[in-house]
A and B are shown apart, each in its own frame.
Chain A
């Protein structure tokens, strides 16, 4: 399994869209830094993420989400939260880590 880590807002670059298009079934995605904006409810990316979650697990780094003034109940349903320790666990549980810089 590959872990994809996305650190840019989907409103700034298309790295999240590209990542979700290329991620294979069973892969994991972690949104962190400005990437967390993609995890918030009610944006034009919500449908894309909801669809992606049929094949992939999507996580968000909660400290980065909260640092931007959002709370866990602003998350799109199905997205799981992790802290830095959880980030480490995602890395060790994956065979490789792909950074979408």
Chain B
């Protein structure tokens, strides 16, 4: 089945990022298709490659990147939520005159239309948040 996922809570906040990851991984292992994972509101912080959690803790950001690589996942970050929170890719950094970018591998920045499309194209949309 084709599933869409939305994450609206940041990593290491409560549990939404972990729940979304575990659910996505389980769905993929069962052979379902994940149409897209959309990161909205504080959920965009799942995409910063500058996090440095302790070595004995899970690395939520890298975990998403690795899953994306393994299953060719579409990880989309909401552009308006990202800009407010200082999450930039190379293009956005240039466009806004910033000296660096911080998006992790496997994520891309795009608009809210991508969430709407995920809602239309997926047979189920599962929302994880605060």
Contact = CB atoms under 8 A, between A and B. Distances in A.
Contacts of A99: 126-129
A87 B23 contact: yes
Interface in A52-101: 63-64, 83-85, 87-89, 91-92, 94, 96-97, 99, 101
A33 interface: yes
A7 B23 contact: no
A94 B130 CA distance: 23
A9 B128 CA distance: 15
B26 A87 contact: yes
B25 A84 contact: yes
Interface of B: 1, 3, 8, 14-16, 19, 22-23, 25-27, 29-30, 32, 124-130
For the complex of A and B, the 5 pairs showing the least CB-CB separation, nearest first, are: A84-B26, A99-B127, A33-B15, A101-B129, A88-B27
A46 interface: no
Residue of B14, B15, B19 ringed by the most chain A CB atoms within 10 A:
B19
B16 A7 contact: yes
A45 B107 CA distance: 41
Contacts of A85: 26, 29-30
Nearest to A84: B26
Nearest to A98: B127
Contacts of A83: 26
A45 to B, nearest CB: 20
Interface in A22-61: 32-34
